[in-house]
Structure 1
Amino acid sequence: MVSDQLYKELSNAINNHKKVALLTITSYADKELVGKKLLLMNDKRYVVDEDYSQELIEVLIEGAYSLLLQNKSKTFSARYQEEEMECFVEVFLPPLKLIVAGAGHVSEPVATIGQMLGFYVTVIDDREDFANQHRFPMADEVVCSSYIEYFRNVPLSPHTYILLLTRGHKFDVVSLQEILKREESIPDESRTKYIGMIGSRRRISGVFEQLKDEFTEHNFKNIFSPVGLDIGAETPEEIAISIFAEILSVKNASSGKPLKEKIPSYSKLKFRERKDR
C-alpha cells in the first residue's frame, strides 16, 4: 500500500509531467522489508515513507535507476546484507507534450490530432484574438504570451515536441534562439527530440542564416524544416497529417517509408494474365 506521503509525491510528479519510478520490495529473507517502497526521481532524488538504512537505499537506487532511464517497468534482483532481494520497479512516464507556437489556421487541426494521439497540447501565441480557449477547445492549455518569454521559461525535455507555426520569420528566429540557447549546454539525450518549423525555402533559409553564427550545426540536428513528410499536403488538415506522420516517425524511431517496402516486390509475383474483353 502506498503511504499518504508517497502518494502525494507521486501525484505531484505526474501532475507536473515528471518521470518517476515507484519501487516495491517483493521478496527478501526479512519479511518485514517485503512491501516497503521508495519513490525515485529522474535526477536520483528519492522519497521514502519511513527510515531505511542508507545501504538499502543505495542498493535500491542502483538497481532501479537504469530501468527508470530506459522507461522499463520490471523486477530486478540484488544482494542486500548477503541475502537475495527482488524489487519491482514501476515507471510512470509523463505524457508527451506538444507545444504549438502560433495559433493560425494550420494550428487548429494540429491541436485536434495532437489531442487524439494523447499529447498534452499547449498552444502559444502573442495575440489575444487568436490565443484563446474558444478557438482551441481541444487544447489542454492556451497561452497568450510573447514567444521569447514563453520559450525562455517553459520546461523542456525529451518528451517535448515543438512546432513553430508562427505568422512570420522573426518569430521563428526568436523562438529558436531561446530554445537552442537553453539546450546548448545539456546532453543530447536530455534535449527535445523534435522541433518542426513551417515555411517556404526562402523563409527557412532566412531563419538559419540569422542563427548560423550563434550556434553550431550540431544544435540544428533535431530541427525538421520544412516540417512534415512529403504527401503532397495542401489543406490545413492535410498539412497536420503530414506533420504528425513525421512526429510519429521520430517518436517511434521509424523510417517513415511505405510499409510495402518491407515485403517482397510485386514484380516477382506471377499474376494471371489479363484477358482483353
Structure 2
Amino acid sequence: MNESLFDRLKNSLEQPKDVFLITITGHSNNLFIGEKALLWPNGDFFTESPLPAYFHSKIFESCEKLIRRKKTGLINFVFDGIEIECFAEYFPIPIHLIVAGAGHVCEPVVDMGKMLGFYVTVIDDRSEFANRRRFPHADEVCCQSYIEYFRHVKITDQSYILLLTRGHKYDVLSLQELLNRKEKAAYIGMIGSRRRISGVFNELLRDFPEDSLDCLYTPVGLDLGAETPAEIAVSIMAELLKVKNQTSGSSLSSQIREYAKLGFREGAAK
C-alpha cells in the first residue's frame, strides 16, 4: 500500500527530520485549493497528486527564506501564468533529550521530558535497566555501550544530553566521545559529587584543553535543595529549560514585587 502524505509527515518527525507541510490556499482553479505536499529543507518533495517537477522547484525557491528562518508563513509565486498562494507550515525537529544512565533519577527525568515535548532517548549498557518495562514513555530505549552510542548518534544544536551514569568511569568514556565530535550539543549536564566531578575533570584534562569543558553543566541542575529522584529531576529540567530558553532562571517574583512596590509608592504619593 502506498504511504500517505501524513504517514510521511509522521515518519519524518520520528526520524527526526524537520519538514514543511505545504497547502495551496489560493488558485484560480478551486479544485487545487487544499492540495497538500511535503517539502524538506534539502529540496526533497512529496505529494499524493502528480505535479510537474518545475512546480516542486518553484515551491522550494519560494520557501527558501522560510527554510533559512525555520518559520511558518505564506508564499506566493506564478506557475504557468497563474498566481498561486501556499501556506507553508514548519514542523521542527523535536529537541532530542538523551539520558545516559537508566537509574532512579532517569525515570522522572524521562516522564518530565515527554511532558515538555522532548524526543527522549534512554541509553544504558545493562538490559535489566534499559528496557521498555521501565521506560514505557521514552521514544527510544537503547541497550548498548556508551562509547558506541555517543560515537555514532546524530548530534545537533537541538541535542540536550544528561549523564546520569553509575560511575565517573562511564562519564569519562561518554565525554571523551562527545568532546571528540565536531558537532556540539546545546547542553551537556553531568550528575555527581565534588569528588566525582574532580575525578572526571582530572582525566579529561589530560587529553582536552580546559576551555573544552566550559560546555559541561556539573553538578547538574539548579540549586533547589533537591533530595529525592523526583526533586532532582525537577532541578535538572529547570536548568535545561533555562539554557534552552536563554533565561536567567531567577525567581519571577524578584521582578514583579519591585514593580508592584513602585506602583504602590507612586499611587500613595498622589
Give the match for residue 72 of structure 1: 71
Give the match for residue 98 of structure 1: 97
* Mapping 1:1-277, distance limit 5 Å: 4=3, 6-29=5-28, 34-49=33-48, 50-54=50-54, 56-80=55-79, 84-182=83-181, 184=182, 186=183, 191-212=184-205, 214-215=207-208, 219-265=212-258, 268=262, 269=264
CA 1:143–1:34: 2 relative to 1, 3 Å: same
Partner Cα separation in structure 2 for residue 215 and residue 31 of structure 1: 62
Query: Could you tell which deviates more after superposition, 162-171 or 226-235?
Result: 226-235
Q: Percent identity?
A: 49
Residue 133 of structure 1 and its aligned partner are, at CA, apart by 3.1
Give the match for residue 274 of structure 1: none
| Structure 1 residues 236-270: Cα deviation after superposition (integer angstroms, max 9, x where no partner) | 22111100101112222322111123325266556
Partner Cα separation in structure 1 for residue 21 and residue 136 of structure 2: 34
Amino acid at match of 2:52: Y
| Structure 1 residues 176-215: Cα deviation after superposition (integer angstroms, max 9, x where no partner) | 2222333x1x4xxxx4322111112343343334334655
CA 1:42–1:264: 2 relative to 1, 3 Å: same
Residue 21 of structure 1 and its aligned partner are, at CA, apart by 0.8
Partner Cα separation in structure 1 for residue 249 and residue 132 of structure 2: 33
Please list every run of 5 or more consecutive structure 2 residues that lacks an aligned counterpart in the other structure. Answer: 266-270
Please list every run of 5 or more consecutive structure 1 residues that lacks an aligned counterpart in the other structure. Answer: 271-277
Residue 46 of structure 1 and its aligned partner are, at CA, apart by 2.7
Residue 229 of structure 1 and its aligned partner are, at CA, apart by 0.9
CA 1:233–1:8: 2 relative to 1, 3 Å: closer
Count of matched residue positions in the alignment of Structure 1 and Structure 2: 261
Partner Cα separation in structure 1 for residue 82 and residue 209 of structure 2: 52
CA 1:218–1:88: 2 relative to 1, 3 Å: farther
